[in-house]
Structure 1
C-alpha cells in the first residue's frame, strides 16, 4: 500500500506492531514522529526514539507496573537544555547568604539547624532529587489514566485490530501509563525552569533535611524587582532553611503531607466518557485537540464531595506550614530593609502560580497552593506574640499538637489554651479524655454500651 493511501487506522496498527514487538523486535524504521503526532505531545523525536527503545525492553520483563524511566528522561531532557550549571561566583554568593540566614534564623526559631549544608544546584539536580516524590504523587492518577486509555482504545479500535489488542492488554496498559509518565516528565521538566528553591512548591520534595537554591532560576526571579540581589538571596535562603528545618524537626510531617496528597490522588478517576468521545473523533494528523484536553484537565471529572473535603484539609495543612515559615522568615529578617516587599512578592507569586504548576494541576487535578496562608500566618503571629518562639515551635513536636483549621479560624482560642498551659493549668476535659481514662483503667470506654461507630479508637490518634 502506498504511503499516501494509508489510513490513520493503518498507521496506528503498524505502530502497535512495532511497539509491541518485545525486546527482540527491531526499532529500525520506527518513526518516533508518528507516535508524537498520535499522542499529541510535543516531545523531541530523538528523545522519543530512545524512550521507545527502553519501553520495548521493559515490556518483555515488566510485571505490568508503570515504568517511570520515560518521565525522568523527559524531565532531564527539558531541564538540561538551557541549564548553564552553577558558577563558582554563584556558589560563593549563595553560601554566604545561607551562612548568614542560618545565623539569623536560629534567633527566630527554637528548631535546630540542619545536619547537612545547603547547596546551590542545577535544574537537572532538582529533577533528580524531586522526581521520586512526583512519581509517588502522580502514581494513582497514572494508573487510572492507563486503565482508561486501554479500555477506550479497545472499544474504539477497528474490528480487525481487536484480537491484537485483546492479546496485549497488559502491554497496552503499560503504553497508557508510559504516555502519562512522559507527560508528567514534561511538566516536571518545565517546572524545573520556574522553581527558585527546594521548598518553593510548598511540599517536601527534597530529601529529608536538605536545602537548595537554583541560581539560574533565582537570577530570573529577581529581574525587574528593583531589590538588591544580596537582600533577595538572603530572603530566599532564610525561607528555604526554615522550610527544611521544619520538616527535619517534625519527621512525621513529611509523611502526613504526602499521604494526604496521595489520598486525594487515589480518588481521581479519568472521565471515560470524555476520553471515549475524544477518541471517536481523534484525528492523528490534528493532535492539538488531545494536547489541549490533557493540559486543561478536561479528562479529569469534577471533584466529588469527598475529594473537595480532602482538598480543603490539604490546603489548610499546607497553609499552616507555609504560614509558620512566613512568620519565622520575617522575624529572622527583621533587620533587612526589603523584607516586607520581598514577602509580598513571594505571596503573590505563590498565589498566581506558574505555567508548569498550572499544568501539573490539570494533570493530576490538584493545585498545590495554600490559599489560606495569610490567615495561617496571622495565627502564628498571634501565637508568637502571646507565648514566644519556644512554645510556638513545640506545637510541631507531635501531630496532635499541630494547629488545625479551627485554630486558623479562631486564633484567640488557641492562644488561650497555650497561655493556660504556660500557667500550669490543666486543660478542660472532654469526652475523649474521659473515655481514654476508663480504657486505661480497664473499664468500658463507652459506659452506655452503645456502638454507634462514633467512638474513636486510641489508634486513630497515634502519630502519623
Structure 2
C-alpha cells in the first residue's frame, strides 16, 4: 500500500513533495526517507543528500530532545569536539611545574589576604576537562535565552506557514521548538568549545564557572597568552596560579557571592527577548536550500533586539559587581606577587585581555547579549588599594563576610567615603547616618508612637465600649 501511495505521487509538484516529507517527519516516522522521493526535490534547488541529513538530524532531535526541547547534550558534544581537536593533553612536566607554582602561590597569598586557603587542591585541566567542568554553569546562564529563541521560532514559523499547512505546523510545536533550541545549543557548544582555547584558568572569564572552591589552570593555553610578553614561563605560571587561587578563595569564603553573581547574570538573561520582527522577516524569506541562514543570524546576534532601559540598569549592576570582584583579586594578586620581577608586565597584559576579550567571548556576547568584561575594573582596583592602605588587609577582607558589607557602586565612585566609614568603625565611632538612615529612623519612631498611643487607649478602655474606665461626674449623680 505504501508503494502504491508513493507511485501515485508522480504528479506532485516539488513543493508538494517537500510538504509530504515534512508530514512524514513530523508524524514521527522512523523508517527513514526514500532517496528517490528526496530526488524529486531538485525542482526546488534542494540538495537531496543535504535534505536527507537534515531530516535525520531533526528526527533524532525529535526523539531525543532534552528538557524543554533543548538538547544540552548536543552543546556538550559540540564543545568537546572543538576542545579536543588538537588532541593535546597535559604532560607530567607541566603538571609538576604548575603544582610547584600553586604551592608557592599559596604561601604568598597567605601573606596578602586573611581569607583562608582552599579545601581541595587546585587542578591542571585539559581544554576538554574545562568544558566538562564549566558547561553546567553555561547551561544555567544560557537557558533563558535559548527558551526565548525556541518559543519565538515556533510562533514565527506558525504565523508564516501557508493556510493549508497550519494544522501541520500547530501539531508540530514540540519539534519546531526543538529545532530552535537545538540550533542554539549547537551554537553555545561552539562558543564554549572555542572559549576553551582562549581561557588560561578557571576564573579567567570573571564569573564562577568552576565548582565551588575549586581552582584550575589550562597549561595548553599558556603559550598563546605569553607569546608576546617576553616573560619567563615559570613567572607567568606563578602569577596566573596566584590570581586563580585568589579568585577561588574569595568565592569559597563568601559563599553567598557565587549565587549573587549567577542570579544577576540569569536575571539579565531572562530579560533578553528575541526580536520578533527580525525573526518573522527571516522566516518569511527562509530558503530550505540555505539552512545556514538561521545559524548565521544566531551567531551575529541579529535576533536579539537593543537592550531596554531595565536591561541596561541590570547590566550596570552586574558590571559593578564583577568589577568589585576583579578589583579585589587584582589588588591581592599584586600584593602577593610583589617579589615577582615580571608581575607588573603580566598584570597589565591581564587587564588588557580582560578589557578587550577574545573572539569566543565576543561570540558569547552576540549569542546571549551579555558582555562579561567589567568596564570599571581599574576604578574598583583603585578603591580596594585605598582601603588596603588605610585599614589593612583584615578589615578589607571582612567586607566580604556579609552581602550588606560589600562595597557598592557609589564606593567605587568615591573610595574616600568608604575609607572614612571604615576608619571611623575601627575607632569605635558610630557610623555617620545618611538621608535614608534618617528617614528610616523617623518611620520607626512614628510607628512606635502610634503603637504606644494605641496601647494606652486599649488599657483605658476597660469596658470595651471605647470609653475610659475612670469615673465620670455622671457616675455619681443621684438616681
For 1:108 and 1:125, locate their aligned partners in 2 and report how far apart those are by CA, in whole Å: 30
Paired position in structure 1 for 2:459: none
1:219-368 map, 5 Å: 219-287=223-291, 289-368=293-372
Asked if the contact 1:268/1:300 (under 8 Å) is kept, the reply is yes
For 1:127 and 1:109, locate their aligned partners in 2 and report how far apart those are by CA, in whole Å: 30
Asked if the contact 1:21/1:56 (under 8 Å) is kept, the reply is no
Asked if the contact 1:47/1:74 (under 8 Å) is kept, the reply is no
When Rg is computed on C-alpha atoms for both structures, the one with the higher figure is 2
Asked if the contact 2:355/2:375 (under 8 Å) is kept, the reply is yes
| Change over 3 Å in CA distance of 1:193–1:13 after alignment to 2 | farther
Cα deviation digits, residues 198-244 of structure 1 (max 9, x gap):
00000000000000011111222111221100000001111000000
Q: With structure 2 as the length reference, what TM-score do the two structures score? A: 0.83
| Change over 3 Å in CA distance of 1:45–1:241 after alignment to 2 | farther
| Change over 3 Å in CA distance of 1:27–1:394 after alignment to 2 | farther
For 2:169 and 2:53, locate their aligned partners in 1 and report how far apart those are by CA, in whole Å: 26
| Change over 3 Å in CA distance of 1:166–1:99 after alignment to 2 | same
* Displacement of 1:66: 2.8
| Change over 3 Å in CA distance of 1:78–1:208 after alignment to 2 | same
Paired position in structure 1 for 2:4: none
The two structures, once aligned, show a CA RMSD in angstroms of: 2.9
For 1:446 and 1:63, locate their aligned partners in 2 and report how far apart those are by CA, in whole Å: 56
Match of 2:82 among 60, 78, 83: 78
Unaligned runs of 5+ in 1: 31-43, 449-464
For 1:54 and 1:437, locate their aligned partners in 2 and report how far apart those are by CA, in whole Å: 63
For 1:16 and 1:255, locate their aligned partners in 2 and report how far apart those are by CA, in whole Å: 45
Asked if the contact 2:421/2:432 (under 8 Å) is kept, the reply is no
| Change over 3 Å in CA distance of 1:29–1:344 after alignment to 2 | farther
SS of the residue 1:386 aligns to = helix
Asked if the contact 2:243/2:329 (under 8 Å) is kept, the reply is yes
Paired position in structure 1 for 2:475: none
| Change over 3 Å in CA distance of 1:357–1:27 after alignment to 2 | farther
1:370-449 map, 5 Å: 370-430=374-434, 444=447
| Change over 3 Å in CA distance of 1:236–1:13 after alignment to 2 | farther
* Displacement of 1:171: 2.8
Q: With structure 1 as the length reference, what TM-score do the two structures score? A: 0.85
For 2:160 and 2:316, locate their aligned partners in 1 and report how far apart those are by CA, in whole Å: 38
| Change over 3 Å in CA distance of 1:285–1:52 after alignment to 2 | closer
Paired position in structure 2 for 1:176: 180
For 1:371 and 1:205, locate their aligned partners in 2 and report how far apart those are by CA, in whole Å: 20
Asked if the contact 1:438/1:445 (under 8 Å) is kept, the reply is no
Asked if the contact 2:124/2:218 (under 8 Å) is kept, the reply is yes
Paired position in structure 2 for 1:462: none
Aligned residues: 428
Asked if the contact 1:196/1:218 (under 8 Å) is kept, the reply is yes
Asked if the contact 1:323/1:376 (under 8 Å) is kept, the reply is yes
